[in-house]
Amino acid sequence: QVQLVESGGGLVQAGGSLRLSCAASGRTLSNYAMGWFRQAPGKEREFVAAISWNGDSTDYADSVKGRFTISRDNAKNMAYLQMNSLKSQDTAVYYCAAEFRGRGTDARAMNYWGKGTLVTVSS
């Protein structure tokens, strides 16, 4: 089993920044791609960002490209999502997830999920 716990969500004004963290326990995150997903009320869960197991490659949704940065620290079993220039449409529950030896971009393929952290962006 792998347990993932998100933190860092909260209320922020439009244009502001927030950093989300994902702490893993149970197993090392080595060999797992990490992904961030989000779900707003009434909408489907959508892909936000992903990073390969060794941190060499990343993927971003077009809606966040240039504003969000995903990173990881395997020594600490942590993954992060730095969110800058936040917009009201970024408001959602954000989830971290892990995929064994995958790309980390397909929610249906992720092996483990956190319970989410709420990000609210005020205008």
The pair of structure tokens assigned to 68 is 């969000």
Cα dihedral 107→76→82→42 (10° resolution) = 30
pLDDT tens per residue across all 123 residues of the chain: 889 999 999 999 999 999 999 999 987 888 999 999 999 999 999 999 999 988 889 999 999 999 999 999 988 999 999 999 999 999 999 999 999 988 999 999 999 999 999 999 999
DSSP state of 104: S
State the number of CA atoms in the 13 A half-sphere of 22 facing the CB.
31
In degrees, rounded to 5, the angle at the alpha carbon of residue 21 between the alpha carbons of residues 17 and 117 is: 80
